[in-house]
Amino acid sequence: TAEEVAAIIGPVFQNEGKAVDEAFLVGLAKRSRLNPREALERAKEMLSHHHFDRHAYPLTQQGLERMSAEVWQVDEHGLRRIDYKYLKALESNPKGLNALVSLLPVGREEIVNVIEPYLLQLETIRQTGSGRELTERGRLVLRGRDRSS
């Protein structure tokens, strides 16, 4: 969970003598796709940017949002542009893996090993007998993205 990953990355900030709140840590965990290794790397990167320019990259929600947009290019869920392209490809109807490979600018391995596991974890897609299908939650995520674009 985001809270479990937040507990893992909290000491990175504590060891540097930096106080951050739980919401910041949970936000960082989500932007790291709930992956502890990625969250640890991003925590160190966040600290590095903060040490370089603490006004541009404060250890706050605002600083986290700036890092997400400018450096990591992810939204508050940890979704990248390619994740949204994947979801958009499923908007009209379910698609098989071969169709997705032909529609997206990434290979089969990235789809199967990187994109799909996280989208399944977020419950934005499901795998059915007729292919990958967008869930209601996936539609909500897409609509939220469309409003902010």
Beta bridge partners of 82: none
pLDDT at 145 (0 to 100): 58
Q: In the chain, pLDDT over 70 holds for what percent of residues?
A: 97
Length of the chain: 149
CB atoms within 10 A of CB 101: 16
Mean pLDDT, the chain, rounded, equals 93
- Contact residues for 144 (Cβ-Cβ < 8 A; gap 6+): none
CA gap 125, 50 in Å, rounded: 36
pLDDT digits (tens, 9 = 90+) for 92-130: 999 999 999 999 999 999 999 999 999 999 999 999 999
This prediction has a pTM of: 0.84
pLDDT at 9 (0 to 100): 97
Max CA separation in the chain (angstroms): 52
Residue 147 pLDDT > 70: no
pLDDT digits (tens, 9 = 90+) for 48-82: 999 999 999 999 999 999 999 999 999 999 999 99
pLDDT at 144 (0 to 100): 85
Q: Which of 72, 12, 6 is nearest to 34 (CA)?
A: 6
Residue 146 pLDDT > 90: no
